């Protein structure tokens, strides 16, 4: 009888050890995925801030050639301000809306610039435009990485058995950073 009890006790201990090990491994994985998502978000943030930094120079350059396009220039400045405000603690969804508005305003600004050959010929403007274009590309990739990280994280948080550990330790599904406005619109084809 004593032997049977000892064996049963041993099995229970072994099972407990296995369960604890699985819980720890699952928790660590969740932490790793969350950190990866945070790091990816930080990359998005870096690129967006880089875009904010480029805009004042761009606006000033355009103002030098097209001062009477005040409405467009003010819209860009306002959109930048809104986007920077949204960056203070807002989640990815509301931030995406503000960034979408800024992208639209910049699009209108570049459309206006098309009507000013001297502005287009300005080296500073061309350099800023190229820099902005590169930054937009980087934002797109950073957003892709962020969404990829969020997908992995959300999969872990919402699927069995990781969701049990996630629920016990306070991990919650997070929002994707989705393109807003013009970026999500259908591709227009002109003939």
Partner 1 sequence: MIDLVVAAAAVGFWVLVYAFCRLLTRPASPAAAPATMELGAESPALVSLLVNRWSLTEDAAESTLLDLAARRFFELRQPGDDPMRTTVHLSARPPASSDLAAYESQVLERIRGLSVDGVVPITALTFRNAAESARWNKRLRQAVLAEARAAGLSRRRISKTMSTLLSVLAAGVGVVVGFAALRYGFGKPEDDQPPAFAFGFFTFAVLSTLGARSLGERDTPAGRAAASRWLGVRDWLRGHDQFASLPPAAVAVWDRYLAYGAAVGVTRLASAVLDLEMGDKRLVWSSFGGAWHRVRVRYPRFWPRYGRPLPHLLLRAAAYLLAGGLILRLFGALDYFAAPAVLLLALGAYVLIRSLLDLAFTREITGEVLWRESWKSKKQSDDSYVTWLFHLAVDDGSGDRTTAWGLPAAVGSGVRDGDTVTITVRPWSRRIVKIVTVGHGRSREIVDTVTEEETGSLSLTMMPAVATPLFSDETVAQVVGRAVVSAPLPLGLQYNAADTGKPMVLVQSLSGLPGKVAWRANQRGAEVPGGAFVAGDRAAFRRGETTYVVTLMGEGRAGRPHLPWLVAQAR
DSSP code per residue over 126-155 = HHHHHHHHHHHHHHHHHHHHHHHHHHHHHH
Piece of the chain touching partner 1 by CB under 8 A; list 13-21, 39-47, 115-123, 172-180: 39-47
Q: Please answer whether residues 37 and 146 qualify as being in contact, where contact means their C-beta atoms are separated by less than 8 angstroms.
A: yes
Residues 6+ apart with CB under 8 A from 157: 30, 163, 166, 171, 172, 173
For residue 84, the tally of other CB atoms under 10 A from its CB is 15
Question: Which of residues 144 and 169 has its CB atom nearest to partner 1 in the complex?
Answer: 144
Q: Give the tokens for residue 12.
A: 């229970």
* Among residues 28, 94, 124, 151, the one that binds partner 1 under rule CB under 8 A: 151
Binding of partner 1 at residue 163 (CB under 8 A)? no
Nearer Cβ to partner 1, position 32 or 70? 32
178 binds partner 1 (CB under 8 A): no
Interacting residue with partner 1 among 36, 82, 104, 163 (CB under 8 A): 36
Name which position in 11, 39, 126, 164 contacts partner 1 (CB under 8 A). Answer: 39
Query: For residues 94 and 13, what is the distance between their CA atoms, to the nearest angstrom?
Result: 49
Decide if 182 contacts 105 (C-beta within 8 A): no
Site string for partner 1, 99-138 (x = CB under 8 A): ----------------------------------------
Q: Which residues bind partner 1 (CB under 8 A)?
A: 32-33, 36, 39-40, 43, 141-142, 144-145, 148-149, 151-152
């Amino acid at each position: 009888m004593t032997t049977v009890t000892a064996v049963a006790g041993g099995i229970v201990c072994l099972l407990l050890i296995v369960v604890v090990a699985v819980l720890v491994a699952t928790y660590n994985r969740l932490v790793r995925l969350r950190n990866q998502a945070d790091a990816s978000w930080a990359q998005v943030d870096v690129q967006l801030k880089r875009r904010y930094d480029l805009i004042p120079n761009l606006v000033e350059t355009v103002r030098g050639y097209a001062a009477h396009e005040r409405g467009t220039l003010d819209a860009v400045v306002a959109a930048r301000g809104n986007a920077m405000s949204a960056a203070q603690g807002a989640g990815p969804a509301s931030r995406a809306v503000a960034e979408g508005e800024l992208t639209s305003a910049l699009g209108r600004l570049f459309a206006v610039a098309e009507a000013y050959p001297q502005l287009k010929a300005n080296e500073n403007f061309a350099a800023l435009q190229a820099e902005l274009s590169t930054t937009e590309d980087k934002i797109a990739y950073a957003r892709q990485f962020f969404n990829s990280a969020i997908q992995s994280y959300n999969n872990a948080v919402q699927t069995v058995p990781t969701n049990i550990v996630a629920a016990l330790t306070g991990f919650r599904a997070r929002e994707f950073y989705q393109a807003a406005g013009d970026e999500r619109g259908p591709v227009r084809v002109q003939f």
